[in-house]
Amino acid sequence: MSFTVDRGELADAVAWTARHIPTRPSTPVLAGMLLEVTENRWLKLSGFDYGVSAEAKLPLHVAEPGMCLVSGRLLADITRALPDHPVTFTLDGAKTVVTCGSTRFALRTMPVEDYPALPRLPQHIGRADGEVFATAIAQVVAAAARDYTLPMLTGVRMEIEDKVITLAATDRYRLAVREFTWEPAVPGIHAGATIPARALADVARHLATGRGVEVFLDPYADTPSLVGFSSGRRLSTIRLIADDFPRFRSLLPTEFSARADVATSAFAEAIKRVALVAERDTPVRLTFRAGEVVLEAGSGDEAQAVEVLPVDFEGDEFTIAFNHQYLLDGLAVLDSDVARLQFTAPTKPAVITGQTGGDAADYQHLIMPIRLSS
């Protein structure tokens, strides 16, 4: 095996693939990155940890077919540090020689035959806009649980109903839901999958480069085991969570008794300021009344903070309290200059959305309040 490739393209492809190589592999061979030169002169770089697989492809002009397996993270460090010259790889016995200008590395290879076969890609079911796809995932993943005692809550639920995809995540204290349209390749498709949130966020962040994202899933399986995403010359598969996801749609209120519209950035900055005096589990209190919202944190002999912001408010005056980080997470991904908060009662969940139509109306972030002592 031998090939020559552009240093910048190689470094990007290796860095992306190496992100999916486990830092503490269950077996030494999983620390490797598989490099394969095909008969039609493509370089394929692969990484796999039994949960997530990644594959990047690069076209080659000069190459001899073959494959080798080398330390993925070491290769990423090396390609990132190489000078800006074409890079040549040559397999020499038990070592792979990397040459770039006057720089030369010899890397020990691992047995290719010990490397596990990558998962077989499921059926192609449609195409989503790359930026919409990445934004939608970013809006919901913050609400996913990080406690693995309930694995289904560490995932993002993806439900497909023909031309609409709905993403949802919850940790029992908040729920984020986002809908967007896409181009299904299977007419009238109806499918669902629960995808590990951390893996999905990483894939979305690095696949969405202004291109479309192709989606792969078995639409006819009662419990599909694998989902795939590709964009350009990059492809990832993720093993799905088998446990049942909560029926989240019934949790979203349909009627409200009060509504407040407030400038998103100003509201977020005010929350950050008053939260400086809040203990870890101490809420930020919000009092809504005509024309203003009063933000407060701290009480008694402790440090206290108060700030007042203008607000467009409809409803009777009331006070409600929230975990400040949950509020900030919901506001941070809101694609609207004005945040709309809708309430049913001070002890019932509130819903954050954008004020206007478009994407803002397709995103809902429900937050459970913290009960205030009387």
pLDDT, one tens digit per residue, over 71-100 is 999 999 999 999 999 999 999 989 999 999
pLDDT (tens digit per residue) in 214-268:
999 999 888 899 999 999 899 999 999 988 899 999 999 989 999 999 999 999 9
pLDDT at 210 over 70: no
pLDDT at 61 over 90: no
Res 360: pLDDT = 52
- Considering all CA atoms of the chain, what is the largest pairwise distance in Å, rounded to the nearest integer? 79
Res 361: pLDDT = 60
What mean pLDDT comes out for the span 303-322? Answer: 94
How far apart are alpha carbons 278 and 327 in whole angstroms?
14
Res 368: pLDDT = 95
Res 374: pLDDT = 54
Q: Residue 77: in which H helix or E strand, if any?
A: helix 72-81
For domain 124-249, the CATH class is alpha beta
pLDDT at 358 over 90: no
> What mean pLDDT, rounded, does the chain reach?
92
Q: Collapsing DSSP states into helix, strand and coil, what is residue 91?
A: strand
By 3-state DSSP, what share of the chain in percent is helix, strand and coil, each rounded to 5? 25, 40, 35
Q: What is the CATH number of domain 2-114?
A: 3.10.150.10
pLDDT at 149 over 90: no
How far apart are alpha carbons 268 and 333 in whole angstroms?
11
Q: Say how many residues make up the chain.
A: 374
Res 22: pLDDT = 86
pLDDT at 208 over 60: no
How far apart are alpha carbons 156 and 202 in whole angstroms?
13
Structure tokens at 170: 């919850």
Q: Phi first, then psi: give them for residue 42, nearest 5 degrees.
A: -120, 140
Residue 339 near residue 262, CB atoms below 8 Å: yes
pLDDT bucket at 372, cuts 50 / 70 / 90: confident
Res 275: pLDDT = 93
pLDDT bucket at 213, cuts 50 / 70 / 90: very high
Amino acid letter for position 326: Y
Structure tokens at 280: 């870890």
* DSSP code of residue 110: B
How far apart are alpha carbons 349 and 225 in whole angstroms?
33
Res 12: pLDDT = 94
Residue ranges, CATH 3.10.150.10, the chain: 2-114, 124-249, 252-367
pLDDT bucket at 356, cuts 50 / 70 / 90: low
pLDDT at 139 over 60: yes
What mean pLDDT comes out for the span 186-193? Answer: 94
Sheet holding 87-92, edge to edge: 62-64, 2-5, 87-92, 95-100, 103-108
Q: Phi first, then psi: give them for residue 351, nearest 5 degrees.
A: -120, 130
Q: How deeply is 108 buried, as exposed, middle or buried, from its count of CB atoms within 10 A (0-12, 13-18, 19+)?
A: exposed
**Multiple choice CATH, 252-367, 3.30.930.10, 1.10.10.10, 3.40.190.10, 3.10.150.10:** 3.10.150.10
Q: Which residues lie below 8 Å from residue 217, measured CB to CB, with a gap of 6+?
A: 122, 123, 125, 160, 191, 193, 224, 226, 227, 228
Q: Higher pLDDT residue, 303 or 43?
A: 43
How far apart are alpha carbons 154 and 171 in whole angstroms?
8
What mean pLDDT comes out for the span 52-71? Answer: 94
Please state, as a whole number, how many other Cβ atoms lie within 10 Å of the Cβ of residue 313: 19
What mean pLDDT comes out for the span 177-184? Answer: 96
How far apart are alpha carbons 353 and 364 in whole angstroms?
5
Amino acid letter for position 118: L
Place of tokens 């929350």: 271
**β-strands 226-231, 174-181 pairing:** unpaired
Res 205: pLDDT = 79
The whole-model pTM stands at: 0.91
Residue 236 near residue 229, CB atoms below 8 Å: yes
Residue 126 near residue 212, CB atoms below 8 Å: no
pLDDT (tens digit per residue) in 93-138:
899 999 999 999 999 999 999 999 999 999 999 999 999 999 999 9
In sequence order, the β-bridge partners of residue 285 are 296, 321
What mean pLDDT comes out for the span 145-169? Answer: 94
